[in-house]
Amino acid sequence: MEESLLYWGRLPAKLPENCGSGKTDRKGFMRASLNSSWTVEQLFQEARMKGPRLVVALLLMPTTGFEQPASTDQVARCESLITSQQQAAANPAREFSLDLRGDEGVRLRYFGVRHTFDPDDPQYATMQSIWQELRPTEAFFEGTGNFVGDTVTAALQRSGEPGLVRHLASLTAIPVHSLEPTRAAEVESLLPRFTAEQILLFLVTRAVVQERDRRNLTAPALEPLLIRFLALEHATPQLVGVLPDLQAFRTAYTRSFPGMVPELAPARWFDPLHNSAETGSQFHNDIDRALSAFRDVYMYRLLARARRPGVRIFAEVGRDHIPAQAAALRCAFN
């Protein structure tokens, strides 16, 4: 049995013997199928010995196949300690960063960030300092991007804190993973409570609002984004054919939000710490809350299942996720 792993980086011209097979594109980037009997450590050791050092990290490495992972029973038992972000926010002493240590050299540094693309933000110096002290063997980031910048500044300006994690991981060729579930899994979790139309309106409008506020865009520049994000969400199996074009999307939006256009939706409509009744968003906040709860469970499971002897994990995430997951992670790691 083979695992299909995706690399962004220049591997040796020839993969290690019995490792697997792969095909390199014109720029030297490779998608490789590797025998599951090979461990991550073996692959990286052989890659260093037989060719140029990996210059970009291994991304999206499956978490199966690790030696002595956390027990399934322990992961499941501790999961019940996850709280909602709303409950966690009621505690004024809540923590936004964790440093958890377990037996056999296990350690997790989980850093809560305020999302920004400003390379001069002090939190990025703090992240780099933690990374250098921890010397992680594995890393996780929030988001689904795969860009790896040549420098810290390039990584941050393009991708924010996930880009910084991918850049730092590339310097020592450690495995790095996204904390995110697939979009299809997210939508499936929402469908029992919300219609496909509501979910699509939420996902597209939220993406436009985030880009609008991050880049300080005005209305004329937003319609192309609306078209682009609508097409992206239509790639999700459960959303294929839902509001199939821009006109159908705008008609549905006006039906739900008379007198409003998605380009001008308030950012507070996408804050999971509030509900839709509080903000007047009809269903946007409620979907965001449900989605955040689903993602908190998913993130916790990834991190808890990565626990094994000697592992040193660095992970970053939006700061409000950490208080919700903190008690469960302490249970799983300590």
pLDDT in tens, 291-301: 999 999 999 99
- Asked if 219 and 264 count as a contact pair (C-beta separation under 8 A), the reply is yes
Based on the domain organization, do 177 and 98 belong to the same domain?
Answer: yes
Q: Each residue of 251-288: pLDDT tens digit?
A: 999 999 999 999 999 999 999 999 999 999 999 999 99
Based on the domain organization, do 170 and 99 belong to the same domain?
Answer: yes
Q: Domain total for the chain?
A: 3
Based on the domain organization, do 166 and 310 belong to the same domain?
Answer: yes
Based on the domain organization, do 76 and 110 belong to the same domain?
Answer: yes
Question: Domain of 38?
Answer: 2-55
From the number of C-beta atoms within 10 Å of its C-beta (0-12, 13-18, 19+), residue 259 rates as exposed
What pTM value is reported for the model? 0.79
What DSSP state is assigned to residue 229?
H
> Lowest-confidence range among 53-57, 189-193, 213-217, 303-307?
53-57
- Asked if 226 and 248 count as a contact pair (C-beta separation under 8 A), the reply is no
Q: Give 14 or 235, the one with higher predicted confidence.
A: 235
Based on the domain organization, do 84 and 174 belong to the same domain?
Answer: yes
Pairing of strands 58-59, 2-7: antiparallel
Based on the domain organization, do 76 and 178 belong to the same domain?
Answer: yes
Nearest Cα to 68, choosing from 309, 310, 315, 324?
A: 309
d(CA 243, CA 237): 14
pLDDT at 24 over 80: no
Q: Which two structure tokens, joined as six digits, stand for 226?
A: 């609306």
Residue 80 domain flag: yes
Helix (H) or strand (E) holding 98: strand 97-101
d(CA 245, CA 305): 41
Nearest Cα to 97, choosing from 302, 300, 332, 314?
A: 314
Residue 260 has φ and ψ, to the nearest 5°, of: -115, 155
d(CA 292, CA 87): 13
Residue 223 domain flag: yes
